[in-house]
Structure 1
């Protein structure tokens, strides 16, 4: 886990539209919709794996945690500045541990997602 500055809490409906649309596409495993919201050189880090560029991110969205069944709920959000946001999801399912709260830490550039780091 990285040492992240503390974000100022915001209502989840105050997240930028690009983030809420990406989160919805990710939950739906709609990889084509998700990558349209990412810069061509975007980087996603999830579970100690890094995915760079549209092709790798498309594969990640389509296949990440596909071996598990789980529910996910956006429970809170935070804002560091105009380009850095934290969306916290609560997951419950048949994955190891069964329950997790994950931070989806976004950095935006030019209205698109530049980086996303997912961590506890």
Structure 2
């Protein structure tokens, strides 16, 4: 058994080369047996880069409204209360709608492979 206590210093702003816009990450469970759990707060219009998950990803939308898009498809709206299953290896991105914040908990299974930034045309 392992207990991971919440961060005493609060949520961190992490502007890695994996997001566009203002995004804050709250690491709920650091990588453990191939599983990472992170609560992510997106400012309006902020989004991830294109990426894939080795064994899939589960997104639980906690607040606001956002978009998620599989490569080759049109972006789809997601809202508070929605749960999304992204199959293993599916290239996708997700983030807040242009006019709304969004918070989701991301449960990532296996390694994440990051690719290029999502353009406005995407």
Q: TM-score, normalised by structure 2?
A: 0.31
Higher fraction of helix: 1
TM-score relative to the length of structure 1: 0.32
Kindly indicate whether structure 1 or structure 2 has the higher relative contact order, using CA contacts under 8 Å at least 6 residues apart: 2
